[in-house]
Each structure stands twice: as structure tokens, then as C-alpha cells.
């Protein structure tokens, strides 16, 4: 069991009731701020998709989706989503959304292979968002502009939350710092990716790491990414690969880097073919989603997911994601948390 118990931890909101009120405040404010910053329309999204269509997110390629047969559809297999990375792009095509506008939704997923700890649960809730862009917007500069808008939505939420709950003093810096994963490796060559993240985020407090998925100079990617949604192989600035990345914030409670969003400019036809070949997954070209993309039937987009429980945990200065959401936890974890004043839902 991996568990961090912060010394002298205290629930700044005083009670579970106040925590529940603050959770609703964060969720209401942030989605309004995000929608305004990125010009997003809220839509309803599925919790399940049919197996074998290529619609589900493969994450790192090893996680098992929850599958079940659907009796009224001839026992066809369906699966609970890991995320809506590809579904959103199909939805934008269906809506005929113009460049500069997009959608967001409440995404609820099950990831039974997660290692449960302070940050990870088998239940995942996030704001999944996607926005149509022009082909000429597929650049690192455009990615940065989008990240800054999301970061501003987070900061505005943090500042408004302080008005409602004065004990939650704002912590975030005015600006977010950008660095490519290769530059981060060059800066801290003897460290693991997570150790490098901790060092850079400890220094800058808010960081966007660009280029996650492509092998770096040591032959190892900074972190895993599926081949068929984020573009992690197209050369960007200084010839470094990748038009995607993660938003990381310094967590003063856990004293470590804290990921709140994974996002990026999505693959076009050339990037999809290149990344499938790099991963040895060329058989996926025959799947429904991939056929639509290769036929030019899907728009260029940028998109990502922003963890709902993660963001609430961060802004409310909680030590465990189980203080925000109701999920399944090992009994020994519940006992250790309760003894430290961390009450899991």
C-alpha cells in the first residue's frame, strides 16, 4: 500500500459538511470559468462504448477496461470508458463545430488497474473537453496559449474560493512555467521522471511539461501516452517532439508535484500513421475511429481531461482523494487515514 500521511494534517474546512459545500463550489465555479476561457458548450457523454470500435482510451496500453455483454444487442461486448479522448472528436464532427469553439462534459470512468494511493482511485471523474482548431494551429505556441487559459481558469477559481472560505489562502503563482520533457531530462539527468517533476515543480509551483509519449535521449518516454489521440511525435520548437503535455502544480500538503490535467493537440492523419507504426499497432487502422480520422472526416482538435476530484483535492488542501469522492479503499488504508484525521468517503 502506497500512502502518504502528512504530519500534523488538519481539515481546514472543519467538517465533512463544509467539505461537501466547498466541493460543489469548486465544481460550479471551475466549469463556468473553463467554459468561458475556451468557448466550450456542455454536452452529455456516454459512460460506456462498444468494444472493438477504437473509441475507448487505451491509456498506457496495459490497463484493462471493465467489459460486459449487452443482451439486447446480441450479447455484443461493451466497456466502461477510460476517458473520452476520441469520442469527443467524433461528437465535434457530428455537431459541425466551427474552429475556435468546443465542448466539455462530465466524464465518469472506472480504471480497476490503478494502484490506489493518495491521488489514484479506481473511480475517475474529470471534465473532458475538446475544441476544434485550424490545421495551422497545430503548434507549440498554440498549445501554450491554451494551457494559459486553463491555468487562468484554475487561478480564478482559487481566488473566488478564498472569498467563500478564507482559510483556503491562494497559493498559485501568476504564471505557469513551460519546459519540454527532454529539457527536463537534461536538467536532472540522474533522476526518474517523477523525481524530475518534483524538482521543477517545487521550484516554479506551476509547470507544463511538453512532449509526453515520445522516447527521450535516454530511450525512455517521460510517461506513457496512447498512439491514437495526443500528438507526441510531431516536431515542435527546437525540433523537440510533441504537441501535448501535463499541467503539474506543487501540492503543499503532500509536498510533491501534482498532476491536474493531461492534454494536447490531437493526431492528424500523418501523426496517427506514424505513431501507430512506432508502437507496432498498425492493425488499429481498421477500427471505426481510426478509419474516420484517416478518411479526413474528423476536425483538427485540441483537448484533454481535468480531474474533478483532483482539482477539488488540490484547492481544498486535502491529503487524500478519498476525502473528495466516494470509492473503494483497502481497509488498512482507511484505518491509517482515520488515525491521522483523514476521513475517506
Q: DSSP string of 203-270?
A: HHSEEEEE--SSB-TTS-BSS---SSSB--SSB-GGG-B-SEEEEEEEETTTTEEEEEEEEEEBP-HH
Is 5 inside any structural domain? Answer: no
What pLDDT does residue 272 have?
Answer: 97
As a whole number of angstroms, the distance between CA 300 and CA 125 comes to 25
C-alpha cell of residue 287:
477500427
Is 6 inside any structural domain? Answer: no
As a whole number of angstroms, the distance between CA 315 and CA 69 comes to 40
As a whole number of angstroms, the distance between CA 160 and CA 162 comes to 5
Active-site residue list = 57, 111, 126, 246, 259, 262
Is 9 inside any structural domain? Answer: no
Nearest to 172 by CA among 96, 249, 106: 249
> Which residue is listed with cell 525512455?
220
Residue 148 sits in which domain range?
Answer: 16-339
For the domain that residue 107 is a member of, what is the CATH number? Answer: 3.30.930.10
Q: Are 230 and 213 in contact (CB under 8 A)?
A: yes
Is 138 inside any structural domain? Answer: yes
172-185 as b/e, with b when 16 or more CB fall inside 10 Å? Answer: beeebebbbbbbbb
pLDDT tens, the chain, 345 aa long? 589 999 989 999 988 899 999 999 999 999 999 999 999 999 999 989 888 887 887 766 667 888 999 999 999 999 988 889 899 999 999 999 999 999 999 999 888 888 999 999 999 999 999 999 999 999 999 999 999 999 999 999 999 999 999 999 999 999 999 999 999 999 999 999 999 999 999 999 999 999 999 999 999 999 999 999 999 999 998 899 999 999 999 999 999 999 999 999 999 999 999 999 999 999 999 999 999 999 999 999 999 999 999 999 999 999 999 999 999 999 999 999 999 999 898
Is 235 inside any structural domain? Answer: yes
| Strand ranges of the sheet holding 123-132, from the earlier edge strand across to the other edge | 40-42, 102-110, 123-132, 301-307, 256-265, 244-251, 206-210, 177-180
The enclosing H or E element of 67 equals strand 67-70
Angle at 316 between CA 311 and CA 319, to 5 degrees: 85
In sequence order, the β-bridge partners of residue 311 are: none
Is 1 inside any structural domain? Answer: no
Q: Are 57 and 304 in contact (CB under 8 A)?
A: no
Angle at 147 between CA 141 and CA 150, to 5 degrees: 150
Domain count, the chain: 1
What pLDDT does residue 61 have?
Answer: 63
Q: Are 51 and 78 in contact (CB under 8 A)?
A: yes
pTM over 0.85: yes
- Tens digits of residue pLDDT in 70-89: 999 999 999 988 889 899 99
> What's the number of CA atoms in the CB half-sphere (13 Å) around residue 321?
23
What pLDDT does residue 55 have?
Answer: 80
Is 2 inside any structural domain? Answer: no
Is 102 inside any structural domain? Answer: yes
What pLDDT does residue 280 have?
Answer: 95
Amino acid at each position: 500500500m502506497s500512502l502518504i500521511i502528512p504530519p500534523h494534517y488538519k481539515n481546514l474546512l472543519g467538517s465533512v459538511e463544509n467539505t461537501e459545500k466547498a466541493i460543489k463550489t469548486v465544481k460550479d465555479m471551475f466549469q463556468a470559468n473553463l467554459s468561458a476561457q475556451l468557448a466550450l458548450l456542455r454536452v452529455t457523454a456516454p459512460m460506456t462504448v462498444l468494444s472493438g470500435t477504437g473509441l475507448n482510451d487505451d491509456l498506457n496500453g496495459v490497463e484493462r477496461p471493465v467489459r460486459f455483454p449487452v443482451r439486447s444487442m446480441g450479447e455484443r461486448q461493451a466497456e466502461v470508458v477510460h476517458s473520452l479522448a476520441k469520442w469527443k472528436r467524433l461528437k465535434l464532427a457530428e455537431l459541425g463545430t466551427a474552429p475556435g469553439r468546443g465542448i466539455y462534459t462530465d466524464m465518469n470512468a472506472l480504471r480497476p488497474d490503478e494502484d490506489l494511493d493518495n491521488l489514484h482511485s479506481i473511480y475517475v471523474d474529470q471534465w473532458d473537453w475538446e475544441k476544434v482548431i485550424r490545421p495551422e494551429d497545430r503548434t507549440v505556441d498554440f498549445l501554450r496559449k491554451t494551457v494559459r487559459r486553463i491555468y487562468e481558469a484554475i487561478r480564478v477559481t482559487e481566488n473566488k474560493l478564498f472569498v467563500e472560505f478564507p482559510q483556503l489562502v491562494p497559493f498559485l503563482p501568476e504564471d505557469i512555467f513551460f519546459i519540454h520533457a527532454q529539457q527536463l531530462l537534461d536538467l536532472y539527468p540522474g533522476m526518474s521522471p517523477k523525481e524530475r517533476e518534483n524538482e521543477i515543480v517545487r521550484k516554479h509551483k506551476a509547470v507544463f511539461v511538453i512532449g509526453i509519449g515520445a522516447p527521450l535521449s535516454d530511450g525512455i518516454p517521460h510517461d506513457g501516452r496512447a498512439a491514437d489521440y495526443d500528438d507526441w511525435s510531431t516536431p515542435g520548437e527546437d525540433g523537440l517532439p510533441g504537441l501535448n503535455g501535463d499541467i503539474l502544480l506543487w501540492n503543499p500538503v503532500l509536498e510533491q508535484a501534482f498532476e491536474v490535467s493531461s492534454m494536447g493537440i490531437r493526431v492528424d492523419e500523418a501523426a496517427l500513421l506514424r505513431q501507430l507504426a512506432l508502437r507496432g499497432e498498425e492493425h488499429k487502422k481498421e477500427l471505426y475511429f481510426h478509419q474516420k480520422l484517416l478518411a479526413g472526416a474528423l476536425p483538427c482538435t485540441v483537448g484533454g481531461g481535468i480531474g474533478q476530484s483532483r482539482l477539488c483535492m488540490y484547492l481544498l488542501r486535502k491529503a487524500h482523494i478519498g476525502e473528495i469522492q466516494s470509492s473503494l479503499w483497502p481497509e488498512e488504508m482507511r484505518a491509517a487515514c482515520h488515525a491521522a484525521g483523514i476521513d475517506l468517503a
